[in-house]
Amino acid sequence: MTKHYVYHPQGVCSSLITFDVTDGKVHNIVFTGGCRGNTQGVAALADGMEVEEVIRRVKGINCHNGVSCPDQLARALEKTLQEA
């Protein structure tokens, strides 16, 4: 079963992160705004990974004021685990 998520990040240039989770794996990650090359790179690298693995790899990455778009993706994914 696939579930679609929409997340409004805080403290970063990106204004929206959307993604799908299917059988514990993240797919179709799209960042609205932010550094295009970096957010596309993170999205491409994380696509198909287990949610927990993405969180482990990107949580705590710092860009501005202690947060980053990858860190915000980790926070969004953590919320999906809380909802499960």
pLDDT digits (tens, 9 = 90+) for 2-16: 999 999 999 999 999
Q: How far apart are CA 78 and CA 74, in angstroms?
A: 6
Residue pLDDT, tens place only, 9-68: 999 999 999 999 999 999 999 999 999 999 999 999 999 999 999 999 999 999 988 899
From residue 61, give the alpha-carbon distance in Å to each of 26, 58, 84: 19, 6, 25
Question: Which CATH code of 3.90.1010, 1.20.950, 3.40.50, 2.60.40 fits the domain covering 2-83?
Answer: 3.90.1010
pLDDT at 64: 81
Give the strand pairing for 2-7 and 14-22.
antiparallel
Alpha helices in 1-84 (DSSP H): 36-46, 51-58, 69-83
Q: How far apart are CA 61 and CA 31, in angstroms?
A: 16
